[in-house]
Amino acid sequence: MPIHVTPADDLAAAIIRARDGDRQVLLHGGAYAEVALTLTPDDSGLTLAAAPGETPVLYGGRRLTGWTQQGDWWSAAVPEVRDGAWDFRHLVVNGGLRPRARLPKHGAFTHENVFDVRWMSSTDGGWERKPTAAELTTLRYRPGDLGAWLDLRNAELTIYHQWDESVVGIAALDPATRTVTFSTPAGHPPGAFGAWNPNARTYVAWNVRQGMTEPGQWYLDRTAGTVSYWPLPGEELAAAEIIAPTAARVIRLEGTEAAPVAEVTLRGLTVSATTTPLVAGGFAAGRFDGALSGAHLRDCRILDCAARAVGGQGMKLLGAERLRIAGCETADTGAGGIYLHKSRDCAVTECHIHHNGRTYPSAIGLQLSGAGHVISHNEIHHTTYSGVGSSASTTRFEANLFYDIMQVLSDGGAIYITFCADVTMRGNVVRGGTGTQLSHAYYIDEQGERCVVEGNLAVNTRWPAHNHMARGGVIRRNVFIDAGDARLTFMRCADFTVAENIIVAGGALTVSAPPTGITAMPKNVLWSGQGVITLETLPEDDYQTRASAPLAPRDGTVIADPHLNGAAFGPDSPAAALGIPPLDISAAGRSRRE
């Protein structure tokens, strides 16, 4: 018989009891506070699930009480914070993450640092000259932005880079030189990537009392040991559920390579309210844990679960084999949605991944490494950086739907892959909403070998296909449509085939490649509403255009209006005459809806 658990029961004790029974634990609805549950190989075969028709929510924190009103704000005592025994940088109110007090109120400050050192690509070793400790720990601010009034124990800065950011504390501030010294080093020097980065010299100050300017914000005073919150209109504090995180994760599946956690099923659970340490998160905010996390798993399943209003990753699983994640949702996350690392033969299907990067915009909706995965029928949107980031070889991305990606950082894409081989992207849809100048729909980056982009749709992305330091790729039977200008790029690439695509730009259409970048270009239909289709010839090992001329069609490619109706074309289209098959993207996205 299953063991039934309510919020008043000891969940960890119930798990132990289940080891001697039929290994089923059913959680009834309600809020489970300060959950820090670890499952071990001894729990292999366990099913931990919501009771039928009920919605248990497991919090990695505790409810704050004792609120007193102080003008527009309400405050509660957190003496453990004053004493240094507790710290948090996220707050959950009525199920949603609330923003910390910030300066400036909107946008970002501009600092005066410059780091004029070339980034040589990851393959070529990163920075041409390694940054010094001072370059990683100091920032010079403009007059009036910061000053001696800043409470150094409380304030934190987000320094924006190219594809990541650094959240740092403040050790010292010198008003005479307008210099801030960080308590923890940044991941890159402030001012780096300046030649092609719109965020190169920007930063924001968080948890600043002077930045409490509107309802919904909160502020943690570590010196006084209080947390203050400005309620939203109509929000009654007496009835509000305000959770302060006490942990970085709620459920942990902890195996080893020799003794993995096997055949565990999690079903219908919601995890919420986690926080993160004060460190630079790195690419994809990869240093942060998941509210639902695990290491060394075999044949486990995570079904119909949710990670909402969490400070780090929604889910982070390492060393998993044949893991299935299906029908899950991650939303309102400080970092990314699902982070699947050094894993093999896993499937992520029918998931809804959205509104990530609330604290760390380097976060990626779904980040992968390893090999052999199937990523299908997911809906990914409102991401601050890439929708998918992957270095997983022999992986298939099929029938996924993307929109409103790349809203903060640049040089990523809806599907961004690198350091991998034999990857297929097929039947995916990317729709507009890209927010920065270096965003792409389908992006094969460094050391991407023999990868295929086939039968996909991109609408109003401005840069539907970008390829960099990749070889032997195939761009085939896609439909790329832009109302304005559009670009296809093959920087430092070799041996690509571009075949049977329909590429339409309302403005100018530009293709950039070195002489050996595209070795075959059969039977494409290209069209520019402005009548401007340009081939930019690039050097083999650099990025500067060597020559620019009208693109001369070859290998059966034509310049003609394809007469599209949406992504479809009729029998009178030149695409039909070339034998290009109709694009079928009817299955893209989730087939199951909430």
The 10s digit of each residue's pLDDT in 524-543 is 999 999 999 999 999 988 88
Least confident of 52-61, 193-202, 370-379, 520-529: 193-202
Q: Tell me, yes or no, whether 120 and 176 share the same domain.
A: yes
Specify if 419 maps to a domain: no
**How far is the first Cα of the chain from the last one, in angstroms, to the nearest whole number?**
30
From CA 114, how far away is CA 108, in angstroms rounded? Answer: 17
Least confident of 120-129, 209-218, 269-278, 388-397: 120-129
Judge contact between 273 and 59, C-beta under 8 A: yes
Q: Tell me, yes or no, whether 97 and 216 share the same domain.
A: yes
From CA 201, how far away is CA 404, in angstroms rounded? Answer: 24
Residue 99 has pLDDT above 60, yes or no: yes
Q: Tell me, yes or no, whether 135 and 198 share the same domain.
A: yes
Q: Tell me, yes or no, whether 67 and 193 share the same domain.
A: no
Highest mean pLDDT among 117-131, 299-313, 434-448: 299-313
Specify if 224 maps to a domain: yes
Specify if 326 maps to a domain: no
Domain, as residue range, for 201: 109-210
Specify if 183 maps to a domain: yes
Judge contact between 521 and 500, C-beta under 8 A: no
Domains in the chain, number: 2
Q: Tell me, yes or no, whether 201 and 72 share the same domain.
A: no
pLDDT the model gives residue 594:
46
Instruction: Give mean pLDDT, residues 78-91.
Output: 96
Give the H/E segment covering residue 443: strand 439-444
SS3 81: helix
Q: Tell me, yes or no, whether 151 and 135 share the same domain.
A: yes
Specify if 159 maps to a domain: yes
Q: Provide the Cα torsion 207, 208, 209, 214; round to 10°.
A: -80
Q: Tell me, yes or no, whether 148 and 166 share the same domain.
A: yes
Instruction: Give mean pLDDT, residues 472-477.
Output: 98
Specify if 202 maps to a domain: yes
Q: What is the pTM of this model?
A: 0.95
Tell me which of 162, 190, 210 is where a domain ends: 210
Q: Tell me, yes or no, whether 216 and 194 share the same domain.
A: no
Specify if 256 maps to a domain: no
Q: Tell me, yes or no, whether 198 and 67 share the same domain.
A: no
Q: Tell me, yes or no, whether 196 and 139 share the same domain.
A: yes
What proportions of the chain, in percent to the nearest 5, are helix, strand and coil? Answer: 5, 40, 55
From CA 531, how far away is CA 528, in angstroms rounded? Answer: 5
Average pLDDT value for the chain: 95
Q: Tell me, yes or no, whether 124 and 197 share the same domain.
A: yes
Q: Tell me, yes or no, whether 141 and 90 share the same domain.
A: no
Specify if 493 maps to a domain: no
From CA 591, how far away is CA 147, in angstroms rounded? Answer: 53
From CA 429, how far away is CA 423, in angstroms rounded? Answer: 17
